[in-house]
Amino acid sequence: MPGLSRRARTRTRTRARALLAATLLALFGAGLSATPAAAAGKVVYITFDDGPSVYTPQVLKVLSQYRVHATFFEVGQNVASHPALTSQVYRRGNSVQNHTWSHPDLRTLSAAQFAYQVTATDRQIRSHTGYRPCCLRPPYGALNGTVRARAAALGKKIALWTVDPRDWSRPGAAAIRARVLDHVRPGSVVLLHDGGGDRSQTVAALSGILKALKARGYTFATWAR
C-alpha cells in the first residue's frame, strides 16, 4: 500500500479482515457457532459429509489427537446402518447435522419427498444423539430458491462451504492437503468426506491439514450442537 503509513496500513488490513469475516458469515454462517476466542481470531470450520462409515472412527481418532472438533453432515440411511458411530461422533464433542436421507439432488424432489429426506434424517440423528439438527447441507451443494424456502419451512439453515479440495475424487493425500492449505482463510468452511466411498486418502491427509493450520495460528469451531 504505497503512500500509507504503517498505522494506516494496519487499520486498512484490519478493516479488510473484518469485512471478509462478516461477508463469510452472512453467506455461509447463519448457523455457525464459535467460541468467543475463536470468533475473535483466526477460525476455520472443518466439516465432513456422507458418513458415518467405516472411515469415521479413523477421522475421530485424528481429530482427538489434535484436540479438534468438526461438524459431520450425516446421511440418514448411513446413520441407520451405523447408529453407534453417530453416537460416538456426538459424544466426542462434534456437531452432527443433516445431509438428507439418501443424498438426492433436492432441486428435483416434490415437497413431500423433500420433507421426508430431511425429517427422516432428523429422527435418526435425534434418536442417537438427543439433538435435532439445525442445519441442512444440500447434497452436491445443489441449491435454488425452492430448496431454500422448503429448508426454512422445516426450520433448517442452509450450510455450504468455501474450500473444496475434491477429496471425493481421490486425487491423493498430498493433493487434498495442499488444496486445503492453499485456499484456507480466516472463516473458511472446509469440505471433506468420511463416507460415500474409499476415504483412506482423506484420513491420510487430515493429520497434515490440522497440524499445519494449528502452526499457522488457527483455531477450530463447529456448527451449533
Annotated active-site positions, please?
A: 49, 193
Q: Which three cell numbers stand for residue 209?
A: 491439514
Of 44, 1, 28, 82, the closest CA to residue 218 belongs to 44
Contact 193, 47 (CB under 8 A): no
Q: In which residue are the cell numbers 462409515 written?
A: 53
Contact 161, 126 (CB under 8 A): no
Half-sphere exposure at residue 35, Cβ-oriented, CA atoms within 13 angstroms: 11
Distances (CA, A) of 64 to 67, 93, 192, 210, 221: 5, 10, 17, 11, 14
Of 33, 128, 38, the closest CA to residue 84 belongs to 128
Q: Which three cell numbers stand for residue 97?
A: 447435522
Residue 21, by phi and psi: left (phi above 0), alpha (psi -120 to 50) or beta?
alpha
Helix axes of 200-215 and 173-183: crossing angle, nearest 10 degrees: 40
